[in-house]
Amino acid sequence: MKIPVFRASTPLAAALGLTLLMLSLGPTSSSAGALLAQDEVPMRGDKKVLTIDDYAKWRSIGQTSISPDGRWVTYAYSRREIDDSLFIKEIDGGDPAVVVRGSNPEFSKDSRWVAYYINPPEQEDGGGRGNAQGGNDADRPARVVELRDLDTGETRKW
């Protein structure tokens, strides 16, 4: 049986091969020890190390939008298996309007209105998007379209 032999045709090829070999050997024992020590330390300076429980509370920001005149913004907080909320805020104003289960906001071209959906509440049958209890989609309430006057806060639903 003949064993293949690697022969570098140039010093550059030999150096590249040696570098790849060194990188493929993986982390050294000192870096592995540092990773283990990191798990044991609950705080690093003034920063908290995240735990598994912290990930369940993690919120994502999405559905961001700015009105054409730049006076209004929308954003949504979402959390896994929790009904999301849409926030509508005047940039120079106070507290945002909160629309529970609001999604997909769209501003009018004149920046007077914002339209969005209000989704039905999530089902308690295990997380919600499927038919775990054998019902059909016709039994589930439809989402509603809401139109909000940004100057008055008045809303209309369909």
Residues 103 and 152 in one domain: yes
Task: Look at residue 123 and tell me whether its pLDDT is greater than 80.
Answer: no
Residues 104 and 32 in one domain: no
Give the pLDDT of residue 24.
Answer: 58
Is residue 138 assigned to a domain? yes
- As a whole number, mean pLDDT of residues 75-82 equals 78
Give the pLDDT of residue 17.
Answer: 63
Q: What is the DSSP string of 93-138?
A: SSSPEEEETEEEEEE-TTSSEEEEEEPPPPPTTTSSSS-TTS--GG
Q: Which domain holds residue 138?
A: 59-157
Task: Look at residue 91 and tell me whether its pLDDT is greater than 90.
Answer: yes
Residue 52: both structure tokens together = 């598994």
What burial class does residue 103 get, using C-beta atoms within 10 Å of its C-beta: 0-12 exposed, 13-18 middle, 19+ buried? middle
CA dihedral for 35, 40, 43, 48, sign (positive or negative): positive
Is residue 4 assigned to a domain? no
Residues 48 and 65 in one domain: no
Structure-model confidence comparison of residues 81 and 99, the more confident one:
99
Task: Look at residue 130 and tell me whether its pLDDT is greater than 70.
Answer: no
Residues 76 and 45 in one domain: no
Percent over 70 (pLDDT), the chain: 59
Lowest mean pLDDT among 37-41, 59-63, 136-140: 37-41
Is residue 127 assigned to a domain? yes
Which among 78, 99, 77 is positioned nearest to 88, based on CA atoms?
Answer: 99
Distance of alpha carbon 4 from alpha carbon 64, whole angstroms: 59
Total domain count for the chain?
Answer: 2
- As a whole number, mean pLDDT of residues 77-93 equals 84
Is residue 35 assigned to a domain? yes
- As a whole number, mean pLDDT of residues 1-17 equals 59
> Which range has the top average pLDDT, 2-16, 47-61, 108-122?
108-122
**Alpha-carbon Rg of the chain, whole angstroms?**
27
